Amino acid sequence: MTGVGDSKRQQGNLVLLVAALLFAVLVLPRVLEDDKGAGGAPAALAAATKGAPTARLPTGFPTVRGLPADPRQTPGRTPSGSDSRPGGSVPTPVRDPRADAFAAVAHKGTCLNAWQTGTERGSGWNTDIPRAVDCDADSAFVRVAGVNATNCPISDPGVTSWRYREVELCLERQFRKGQCFLVSRSGGTENSPRYSANLFTWIDCDAARIPASFDSLLAVTGVYRAPADVRAGACARVANDRTYYWYWVAHNDTTLVCATHPNR
């Protein structure tokens, strides 16, 4: 048996149901319509749509914790168009003193205080840095005959070349009486050996030891204008000179160099 209280509760539930239906049919569609007209997605959908951009997300590069906001500032990368050096300055190239020295003396007619020691495969220079000297000085051992010359006559016993990087010096030996140079025996007899010489070597005439590539040393006794035909007596210093001499014709057959053992 249903009482009066139960009847009233049923009427109240019916009223709530009718009100909910009216709200769903009449009010809710208008709210959704207004949200769409404002250019945004429904609030309930905007917060829950995974992986899709929303009107409320900021534009530009996203900030990820532990990384720079601007990927162009990633460590190890230089922003394009900028210089990573302090002040954007270009570093000064390191100077090469030897290259500078070669360039400074690379002029035809320059005399150098340079000679070969005979210690490196029979040659080897006394210095890495060529130094210009007065051509009348005793230390003027060679003269620059050409620079980067394609016709440097290195087969001439009085001519050689000396190169460093882009500069090649064609050098002409400046012979002076009393200078000693190194020789190697190339034939002959015990009393009259034949010698081949490196005329660009210079050694103390009283040296107790000589480089292993050589057998002996000779001293220049005279430098003359070369005759067309070198005959016996061409190197004689006195009448009836009985000294045994060796000689070389250098400088394109224009210079006769006479030599003998020191102190003879």
How does pLDDT run across 147-180, given as a tens digit for each residue?
A: 998 889 999 999 999 999 999 999 999 999 999 9
* Single pTM value for the model: 0.64
Residue 46 confidence (pLDDT) above 50: no
Q: For position 11, what pLDDT does the model report?
A: 63
pLDDT higher for 78 or 179?
Answer: 179
What is the pLDDT averaged over residues 212-240?
96
Residue with tokens 């035909």: 229
Rg of the chain taking only CA atoms, in angstroms: 50
Residue 95 confidence (pLDDT) above 70: yes
